[in-house]
Chains A and B, each alone.
Chain A
Amino acid sequence: MLACRRLHANVRTARGLLSSGPVTGQHPGPRGSTVPRQSLHTGSSLRNDFYKDLEAQLAAVRKKAAEALPGSGWSPFELNPDLPPERADIVIVGGGVVGWSIAYWLKQKERVQGEVKVVVVEKDPTYTQASTVLSAGGIRQQFSLPENILLSLASADFMRNVNEHLGVMNEDPVDLQFNHSGYLFLASEKAAHIMEQNYSTQRYAGAKVSLLSPTQLKEKFPWINSDGVALASYGLENEGWFDPWTLLNAFRKKAISMGVIQCCGEVTDFKYTVNVATTPEGENVALKRIKSVKVQMPNSLEYQPVECAIVVNAAGAFSSKLAQMMGIGSGPKGTMAGTPLPVEPRKRFVYVFHCPDGPGLDTPFLVDYSGVYFRREGLGGNYIAGASPDEAEEPDISNLDVDHSFFEEKIWPPLAHRVPAFEKLKVTSAWAGFYDYNTFDQNGIIGIHPLVNNMYLATGFSGHGLQHSPAVGRAVAELILDGGFKTLDLSGFNFKRILNQEPMLERNIV
């Protein structure tokens, strides 16, 4: 009975409430039914009144703010889930095979799980312009620099045990579709002595390569026209070609499973501090240190500054753009600050053609002394071919269009001369890709930049980045985590050789 009377009283106060507030008064239905139940417990109508009022005012403010801001769907607490984290230890710019390989090796080498926080920033997650997936996918040991040969041997060893390195639990094993077909280099009379020297370097480094005379060549590959060939070198082991996309994806999957953060965006700016130091020669040098990386999200104005300790520049063909943002190469010519990163994109065409009478299963990756190369693609009589154009005839790099006349004029004649069966062929498809071409000496640049003391470079591989990526990733991870090269000494590839004008040139037989 007592309870019943109190309820009555409460209803009365509730009615009073309703009439007092103009905002709440407009919605008597739902409020009217809830308020009495609440006041059963609180009892005080005064406090209730205050909170109601506050709530109404807050609602009005929120409404006003929403109307005032551009885009009424905006809310301050909604975040883009794709944004990179605000802080990271290492930011790798460039999600190509080199970038992901570095990320994998950093995680592989950490002692405690989650020791280093690694973010990989890739501007194009579909990889439409990435050099990795547009390459011919070959791996060879036939270089002239011991460093390059050792890099290839280490990478081949990695690929042999790819499932131990990159296998992810409960997933299919990685199948690189490696074709063990070997490279065959042909040398003309005047380059034969270079090939012999290269051969001894390669044998010394441990590569299984054999030299063939023109007669042996003809015996081994009857479909080759050996005119003009003085010497040939042929890889017996650890050479061939594989699927670049599979390797890239395997690296990415494994790295993500180990805790690397993938981020889709473009690095547009750096924040850095500058310290001025004086060299022994009395030159004032500005030493920079990156504090944060500005990552711009794709197709939006949104960006996120990522504070980081170390930045790895693995942006391949576009890495010099990144270096320019740090002011590398902007100083007066001839000084340290005025030496740019000598890496630029170069367009290379790859043509797929069909020739039913062409060489069969034993087709090697043939590189002629004219610069033309070709290899088998699958088993159905398809081949892919390409060549490097002359320095003066570099194609336009603003797009990835294919110049079909290049095949007709520059590739087909030497190709048909070397392999007479290719007189009759049909080009079925073609694509173009970028080389991260090092204009200084066509070799990779690995190591720290002398003027930006937390930017590591891993770029400029000029066409052999894919095949060296596993070993390069390991080397860069060693450089970052151990402070120096442990397994392979790549100190010859550092940036200082560019400052000192000491090129590490490959002695090509082409």
Chain B
Amino acid sequence: MSAHLMSLHRCCQRSALLLVARRPWSSSSASPPPLHTRLLLFLTQRFYDMEMLLSWSSQLKRRVIQRKNAYYSYAQRFHGSDIAAAYYVLNLKGGFRFVGLSAWFRANHRGKFNWDFLNHKDTPLEEVDMSYSVINYTGLVNLEGQRSLRTLSFRGCPEVDDWFLAKLHMFQDSLEELDISHCPRITTGGLAALRNLKGLRRLDISSLPGISSPGLIIILLEEMLPQCQITASGYNLSLSQEEKMEQMQEQRKGQS
């Protein structure tokens, strides 16, 4: 009996939590989450086993990301830090260009890549493109020795967060171009950390869902980095409050 009551009580609590968790979905005009997500949530509310399975799967995902971002000490010891960095970039399906070479080395969409880069020993990297990869804070250690890195792109990286941006200070002498657009986990507190990159010439902060009042932030960033050209598209800046309301109403009409 008491067990039943407990589970009922727990269910009530859970459903309240779910309501809280759901609030952002309902307030935004975006569509509700897909069917399988809702089904999973429904099942987790009722079964401990589902909850367990979900937490295991998230742990597993986290571990996979950690393993991919491990420190390449073996490669570093036998081939030097430049080759280790290049190997790390290619393993995460990224691309890079050596200093003094015009050719880019890239992994294809299946993660296969050409091993010719091993011929360029002790050549530092100049441009690195890690777009849509799972690079995170710990993985950045592999790029730490790169003193002539000029361009970095982390477009759409799900694991790039504020702590990651704070760690970019190690490229402060060389970095000129940075692309952190479409990164879901970046917030205002992390953008303040870009102050160390005084040599920055171009910065792309388009479509960051985590920052509030983007208009003000763009102005403050321009003030903080006066020599930098800031690209920020994907924000609804021009519309006034009333126009926004009208737009939302139109959207609602279109939905119904």
Q: Which residues of A contact B (CB under 8 A)?
A: 160, 164, 169-172, 175, 177-182, 208, 220, 236-238, 240, 360-362, 379
Contacts and interface: CB of A to CB of B under 8 A. Distances in A.
Interface in B191-239: 191-193, 195-196, 198, 213, 216-217, 220-221, 223-224
Contacts of B163: 160, 178, 180, 238
Interface of A is mostly: loop
A379 B165 contact: no
A361 B195 contact: yes
Contacts of A175: 187
Nearest to B45: A170
Q: Range of interface residues on chain B?
A: 35 or more
B51 interface: yes
B68 interface: no
Given A171-B21, A179-B189, A236-B169, 13 more contacts: A169-B55, A170-B44, A172-B21, A177-B187, A178-B162, A178-B189, A178-B190, A180-B193, A181-B189, A236-B166, A236-B196, A238-B166, A379-B216
Interface stretch (B12-20, B79-87, B103-111, B145-153): B12-20
B232 to A, nearest CB: 14
Contact of B17 (A171, A178, A237, A379): A171
Interface string B120-143: 000000000000000001000000
Contacts of B217: 361, 379
Contacts of B188: 179, 379
Interface of B: 14, 17-18, 20-21, 41, 44-45, 51, 54-55, 62, 137, 162-163, 165-167, 169, 187-193, 195-196, 198, 213, 216-217, 220-221, 223-224
A13 to B, nearest CB: 39
A180 B166 contact: yes
Contact of A170 (B14, B187, B198): B14
A182 B54 CA distance: 37
A500 to B, nearest CB: 40
Contacts of A362: 192, 195, 224
B191 A361 contact: yes
A157 to B, nearest CB: 9
Contacts of A178: 162-163, 189-190
Nearest to B195: A362
Given A237-B169, A238-B166, A379-B220, A164 B190 contact: no
Contacts of A360: 220, 223-224
A379 B213 contact: yes
Identify the interface centre among B54, B195, B198, B224: most chain A CB within 10 Å of its CB.
Answer: B195
A172 B51 contact: no
B189 A170 contact: no
Contacts of A379: 188, 213, 216-217, 220
Given A180-B163, A240-B189, A170 B18 contact: yes
Contacts of B193: 180-182
Nearest to B62: A164
Contacts of B18: 170
B162 A180 contact: yes
B118 to A, nearest CB: 32
Contacts of B21: 170-172
Contacts of B191: 361
B165 A180 contact: yes
Given A169-B51, A172-B20, A181 B187 contact: no
13 contacts: A164-B62, A170-B14, A170-B45, A171-B20, A180-B163, A180-B165, A180-B192, A180-B193, A181-B189, A240-B189, A361-B217, A362-B192, A379-B220
Main secondary structure of the interface of B (DSSP, over half): helix
B32 to A, nearest CB: 16
Contacts of B220: 360-361, 379
A237 B167 contact: yes
A171 B14 CA distance: 9
Nearest to B41: A170
Nearest to B220: A361
B59 to A, nearest CB: 9
A180 B137 contact: no
Nearest to B23: A172
A220 B172 CA distance: 13
A224 to B, nearest CB: 14
B224 A361 contact: yes
Contacts of A171: 17, 20-21
Across the A-B interface, the 8 shortest Cβ-Cβ residue pairs: A180-B193, A362-B195, A180-B166, A179-B189, A361-B220, A236-B169, A160-B163, A362-B224
Contacts of B165: 180
A180 B223 contact: no
Nearest to B188: A379
**Most chain B CB inside 10 Å of its own CB: which residue of A172, A178, A238:** A178
Contacts of A181: 189, 192-193, 195
**Residue of A169, A180, A181, A208 with most chain B CB atoms under a 10 A cut-off:** A180
Contacts of B196: 236
A160 B163 CA distance: 7
Nearest to A361: B220
Given A160-B163, A236-B169, A237-B169, A180 B189 contact: yes
Contact of B189 (A172, A177, A237): A177
B236 to A, nearest CB: 18
Given A171-B17, A237-B167, A361-B221, A180 B190 contact: yes
B145 to A, nearest CB: 15
A387 B54 CA distance: 48
A293 B71 CA distance: 49
Nearest to B51: A169
Nearest to B225: A362
Nearest to B161: A160
A177 B137 CA distance: 18
A160 B224 CA distance: 25
B179 to A, nearest CB: 19
A91 to B, nearest CB: 25
Contacts of B54: 169
A108 to B, nearest CB: 14
A374 B166 CA distance: 21
